Amino acid sequence: MNQMPEASFQIRISTRCSAIIAGVISSLVMLVGGCSQPPAVPIQQAIWVTRWDYKTQDDVEQCIQNVADGGFDTVIFQVRGNGTVFYRSQLEPWAEEFDHADPGFDPLAIACQEAARHGLAIHAWINAVPGWRGDTPPPVTTPPQHWNAHPDWFLHDSQQKRQPLQPNYYVALNPCLPTVRKHVADICSEIVEQYPVAGIHLDYIRFLESGVEIDYPRDPQSLARFTRQTGVADPEQDGEAWDRWRRDQVTEMVREIRVAVKLADRRALLTAAVYRTPEIAYQRVRQDWPRWLRLGLIDAVFPMQYDREVPRFEERVQECLHQARGYPVLMGLGTYLHPDPEVTLRQQQLALRLGCQGICHFAYSSFFSTHSTSVAEEPLRKERRNRILGSP
């Protein structure tokens, strides 16, 4: 007779403890964005505005005006290119497009102000791992650019030589280093804390393609961490473990950014421009974006499906959707590649019909003139506006 209440009490205690533990686990999962059902994101028609699309405050205001008039609901506004930025930062110097000096206005602040006035969502677009671009080193700046201040942050080969500067491409920061990951997460946190953005949009969140066959990174710190975490003494002993470990380091970078963004503003979204298909991303640049979705590390992906061919585009969209498993996909269209706007229209319609939540055009300059676009292409831009956006 006395055992029944005791058993009942034990069951109640056990149930209560389980509920508390479940609640704690749920809170921790939500902190990094995990959830059992993939929620939709409030984006349907987006456009990438690159850092080369604006130079003055008037340019920024006109960009946002044009995006609003074009019927877009979201602007992906680039504010970090290669270790330099387009907002007032305590962490990185002003961009070379502004001669590394304050231009007298804050592009991101103006963009946020204008986006709010026009009812647009704005996502701050950052290039995650690029450390510099071009074959000339950056000048001395305040704060100093990473090439000058943190040479150890860059990829190094087995001879301990830093990845050489390239004429028309980036040299990369090493995502296997905790200091690099923390810095990029701090950049994202700084933006979310200081500006009313709807989210952070990651680009180049991966290993970069290299013009030469060098198996980066081979610096002592990365190799020591690889051995400590895998038990493999040398990458040459187990190439599969080496690739998996490097892939995991990129995923860890996304995780750290996610935590930093959510701590700054739990409502802020984290999205990513990703390689056009999961298989190519996984093998070529060690970017496992379907896993990021399933782990709740990002809220949506934007596969950069830049293609002139409609049938191949359709096939690759289907592959992306299959691997995304119901999580939000906004298909990136290479609008700039299409001399015939009908191709863009067909791809847009296909993406939506196949199940993408929305689309994102690359890029703003495909539709609107900027200080860096060709006047000769204005008739094509006007035709695109008429055919795709339905506006003169």
Residue 14: pLDDT band with limits 50, 70, 90: very low
DSSP 285-298: S---HHHHHHTTS-
**pLDDT tens for residues 42-53?**
999 999 999 999
Going by pLDDT thresholds of 50, 70 and 90, the confidence category of residue 209 is confident
* Range name among 20-24, 206-210, 225-229, 245-249 with the lowest pLDDT average: 20-24
Using DSSP's 3-state secondary structure scheme, residue 303 falls into strand
pTM: 0.90
Residue 219 makes CB contacts below 8 A (sequence gap 6+) with: 152, 155, 156, 160, 174
Mean pLDDT of 352-363: 98
Specify the long-range contacts of residues 30-37, CB closer than 8 Å, at least 24 apart: 31/259, 31/262, 31/263, 32/255, 32/258, 32/259, 32/262, 32/295, 32/296, 32/297, 33/258, 33/262, 33/270, 33/296, 33/297, 33/298, 33/299, 34/295, 34/296, 35/296
Residue 211: band (very low, low, confident or very high) from pLDDT cuts 50, 70, 90: low
Above 60 in pLDDT, residue 251?
yes
Stretch 187-200: mean pLDDT: 98
> Residue 214: pLDDT band by 50, 70, 90 thresholds?
confident
pLDDT of residue 155: 97
For the cut 60, the answer to whether the pLDDT of residue 12 exceeds it is no
Buried b vs exposed e over 264-277: b needs ≥16 C-beta within 10 Å?
bbeebbbbbbbbbb
Domain boundaries in the chain? 45-389
- What per-residue confidence (pLDDT) applies to 286? 96
Cβ pair 217, 174 in contact under 8 A: yes
First to last CA, the chain: 85
pLDDT of residue 13 exceeding 60 = no
Q: What's the pLDDT at 371?
A: 86
- The mean pLDDT of the chain is 91
Q: Whose CA is closest to 354, among 390, 386, 383, 324?
A: 324
Domain 45-389's class? alpha beta
Query: What's the CA gap between 228 and 177, in Å, rounded?
Result: 14
pLDDT at position 9 is 30
Q: What integer is the mean pLDDT of 148-174?
A: 96
Q: 82: number of CA atoms within 13 Å, CB side?
A: 21
Query: Which amino acid is residue 141, in one-letter code?
Result: T
Q: Using alpha carbons, list the distances in angstroms from residue 85 to 185, 242, 262, 273.
A: 14, 33, 21, 19
pLDDT per residue over 277-330, tens digit each? 999 999 999 999 999 999 999 999 999 999 999 999 999 999 999 999 999 999
Q: What is the mean pLDDT of the segment spanning 131-153?
A: 97
